[in-house]
Protein backbone atom coordinates (compact mmCIF):
# COMPACT_ATOMS: atom_id res chain seq x y z
CA UNK A 1 0.00 0.00 0.00
CA UNK A 2 1.40 3.39 -0.90
CA UNK A 3 0.48 6.89 0.15
CA UNK A 4 -0.62 9.60 -2.19
CA UNK A 5 1.52 12.71 -2.17
CA UNK A 6 -1.09 14.47 -0.05
CA UNK A 7 -1.33 11.58 2.43
CA UNK A 8 2.46 11.40 2.64
CA UNK A 9 2.71 15.11 3.43
CA UNK A 10 0.02 14.80 6.12
CA UNK A 11 1.86 11.85 7.64
CA UNK A 12 5.15 13.77 7.63
CA UNK A 13 3.50 16.70 9.45
CA UNK A 14 1.97 14.32 11.99
CA UNK A 15 5.30 12.53 12.51
CA UNK A 16 7.17 15.75 13.23
CA UNK A 17 4.75 16.54 16.06
CA UNK A 18 5.61 13.31 17.86
CA UNK A 19 8.24 13.68 20.55
CA UNK A 20 10.06 11.27 22.80
CA UNK A 21 9.07 13.34 25.81
CA UNK A 22 6.45 11.67 28.02
CA UNK A 23 3.07 13.31 28.41
CA UNK A 24 1.87 14.23 31.89
CA UNK A 25 -1.36 12.41 32.71
CA UNK A 26 -1.95 13.51 36.32
CA UNK A 27 -0.26 15.13 39.32
CA UNK A 28 0.75 13.62 42.66
CA UNK A 29 0.20 14.86 46.22
CA UNK A 30 3.12 17.30 45.79
CA UNK A 31 1.81 18.61 42.43
CA UNK A 32 4.58 16.75 40.59
CA UNK A 33 3.65 15.28 37.19
CA UNK A 34 2.77 11.61 36.80
CA UNK A 35 3.38 9.77 33.56
CA UNK A 36 2.01 6.64 31.93
CA UNK A 37 3.59 3.62 33.59
CA UNK A 38 4.22 5.33 36.95
CA UNK A 39 3.22 3.12 39.88
CA UNK A 40 1.30 5.16 42.42
CA UNK A 41 -1.29 4.81 45.15
CA UNK A 42 -4.37 6.93 45.74
CA UNK A 43 -4.65 8.60 49.15
CA UNK A 44 -6.85 11.30 50.68
CA UNK A 45 -4.10 13.78 49.72
CA UNK A 46 -3.82 12.61 46.12
CA UNK A 47 -1.65 10.12 44.29
CA UNK A 48 1.63 8.98 45.88
CA UNK A 49 4.37 7.44 43.75
CA UNK A 50 5.60 4.09 45.01
CA UNK A 51 9.09 5.54 45.52
CA UNK A 52 7.64 8.42 47.62
CA UNK A 53 5.62 6.34 50.11
CA UNK A 54 8.12 6.75 52.95
CA UNK A 55 8.33 10.52 52.37
CA UNK A 56 4.52 10.73 52.32
CA UNK A 57 4.18 8.72 55.56
CA UNK A 58 6.58 11.13 57.27
CA UNK A 59 4.19 14.01 56.56
CA UNK A 60 1.17 12.37 58.19
CA UNK A 61 -0.19 13.43 61.56
CA UNK A 62 -0.22 10.99 64.49
CA UNK A 63 -3.97 10.37 64.10
CA UNK A 64 -3.55 9.31 60.46
CA UNK A 65 -0.64 7.01 61.35
CA UNK A 66 -2.70 5.36 64.09
CA UNK A 67 -5.50 4.77 61.60
CA UNK A 68 -3.04 3.06 59.24
CA UNK A 69 -1.78 0.86 62.07
CA UNK A 70 -5.34 -0.06 63.04
CA UNK A 71 -5.73 -1.62 59.57
CA UNK A 72 -2.63 -3.79 59.95
CA UNK A 73 -2.41 -7.21 61.58
CA UNK A 74 -0.12 -7.80 64.55
CA UNK A 75 2.50 -9.69 62.52
CA UNK A 76 2.90 -6.78 60.08
CA UNK A 77 3.15 -4.27 62.94
CA UNK A 78 5.79 -6.42 64.67
CA UNK A 79 7.84 -6.59 61.46
CA UNK A 80 7.41 -2.87 60.69
CA UNK A 81 8.41 -1.90 64.24
CA UNK A 82 11.42 -4.23 64.23
CA UNK A 83 10.19 -6.03 67.37
CA UNK A 84 11.73 -9.31 68.48
CA UNK A 85 10.21 -12.05 70.60
CA UNK A 86 11.89 -12.40 73.99
CA UNK A 87 11.36 -14.94 76.74
CA UNK A 88 9.07 -13.76 79.47
CA UNK A 89 10.93 -12.01 82.28
CA UNK A 90 8.48 -13.45 84.80
CA UNK A 91 9.26 -17.11 84.23
pTM attached to this predicted model: 0.61
Count of structural domains within the chain: 1
Q: Does the residue 7 lie in any domain?
A: no
Please tell me the least confidently modeled range out of 46-50, 79-83, 87-91. Answer: 87-91
Q: Does the residue 65 lie in any domain?
A: yes
Q: What is the pLDDT of residues 51-82, one digit of tens each?
A: 999 999 999 999 999 999 999 999 999 998 89
Q: Does the residue 91 lie in any domain?
A: no
Residue 86: what pLDDT? 83
Q: At residue 32, does pLDDT exceed 60?
A: yes
Q: Which residues contact 51 (CB under 8 A, 6 or more apart)?
A: none
Q: Does the residue 13 lie in any domain?
A: no
Q: Which residues contact 64 (CB under 8 A, 6 or more apart)?
A: none
Domain of 47, in residue numbers: 21-81
Q: Does the residue 30 lie in any domain?
A: yes
Q: Does the residue 73 lie in any domain?
A: yes
Q: Check: CB of residue 33 under 8 Å from CB of residue 42.
A: no
Amino acid sequence: MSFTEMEGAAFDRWKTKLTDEPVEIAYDWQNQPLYEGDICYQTDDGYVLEDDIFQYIQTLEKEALLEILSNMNNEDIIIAAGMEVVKSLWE
